[in-house]
Amino acid sequence: MPSREIFCCNGEAGTLPFLARGHPSGAGGDEIQLMVSSVLIDFDGTVTLEDTTDLLLERFADPLWRKIEEDWVAGRIGSRECLSRQIDLVRATRADFEALADEVPLDPAFADFVAAGRDLGLQMVIGSDGFDALIARVLARIGVKLPVVSNRLIVCAANRWRAEFPHYLGDCRSQSGNCKCALFNSGPTVLVGDGRSDFCAAPQATLVLAKKSLAMYCRDAGIEHIAIEGFADATRALRAFCKAEDRAAAATAREGGALHA
């Protein structure tokens, strides 16, 4: 089964598999293996209601970070260069990071979405252009365990940090520090996202559940998507998608049985 190596938020190696669910064929009882989409979930602005990197910079960085942000918004630099230069301006301790992560507001329906995905037999992963330390703290706070593919914060001194980008690809269409396009190279996948780092992955997704600027991008680019306000909408859409997929698999099985009758 195809997979892609990832590094989880705890630093351990793992894989991002694309699962196959079994469906009774209705013809001889054989099981049909249907490729079922794994779910790639954006973090900042999707799981959280505010961008944790922006909060970090607003609280702990030299105000020069805003000028760097302007260059990124204007498209003069990619997010890898932007984030690297901005994190160089941060002066904060690990305790500062943890306190910030403990305060950030979350979509209250996120944990229910994860539970629904697991009930449906889907593999879920957080794919973020944010940073591992903040993501791990937030997920631990709400008791959700998921693999994470993200950028990293590396301590340099007592209150100084540098950014690391283990998933950067120079040809990423979104110029992201963490290229989500590459996470979609092994099979059909559901994307739940809200912003610019999700743009390159959206055309490759089987199902796009889009908030905010991702929804506008999909609309303007003619990419099929379902606009959502949050994870309550996403849960309903995911269940409907899997139900339709199951019906299609059953119909295919019946047709195959009729042909061999």
Please give the model's pTM, rounded to 2 decimal places: 0.82
Chain segment 9-45, per-residue pLDDT in tens: 333 334 433 333 333 222 233 332 334 458 999 999 9
Q: pLDDT above 90 covers what percent of the chain? A: 63
Model pLDDT, residue 239: 94
| pLDDT tens for each residue of 112-150 | 999 999 999 898 999 999 999 999 999 999 999 999 999
SS3 127: strand
Q: Model confidence over 208-244: pLDDT tens digits?
A: 999 999 999 999 999 999 999 999 999 999 999 988 8
Residue 36, CA distances (Å) to 214, 236, 240 in order: 23, 17, 13
At residue 220, the pLDDT reads 96
At residue 261, the pLDDT reads 56
Span 37-64, average pLDDT: 94
Separation of alpha carbons 138 and 9, rounded Å: 11
First to last CA, the chain: 31
The band of 159, judged by pLDDT with boundaries at 50, 70 and 90, is very high
What whole-number distance in Å separates Cα of residue 140 and Cα of residue 156? 24
Left (φ > 0), alpha (ψ -120 to 50) or beta: where does 46 sit? alpha
pLDDT for the residue numbered 37: 54
Is-contact 87 165, C-beta < 8 A? no
Residue 178: alpha-carbon gap to chain centroid: 10
8 Å CB contact between 79 and 230? no
Mean pLDDT in the chain?
83
The domains located in the chain, with CATH, are 3-51+109-151+173-260 (3.40.50.1000)
* Main-chain phi, psi angles of 200, to 5 degrees: -70, -30
159 phi, psi to nearest 5 deg: -135, 25
Contacts of residue 116, defined as CB under 8 A and 6 or more positions apart, other chains included, come to 235, 238, 239
Taking residues 183-196, report their average pLDDT: 79
Please give the residue that has the higher pLDDT: either 248 or 177.
177
For residue 66, pLDDT over 90 is answered with yes
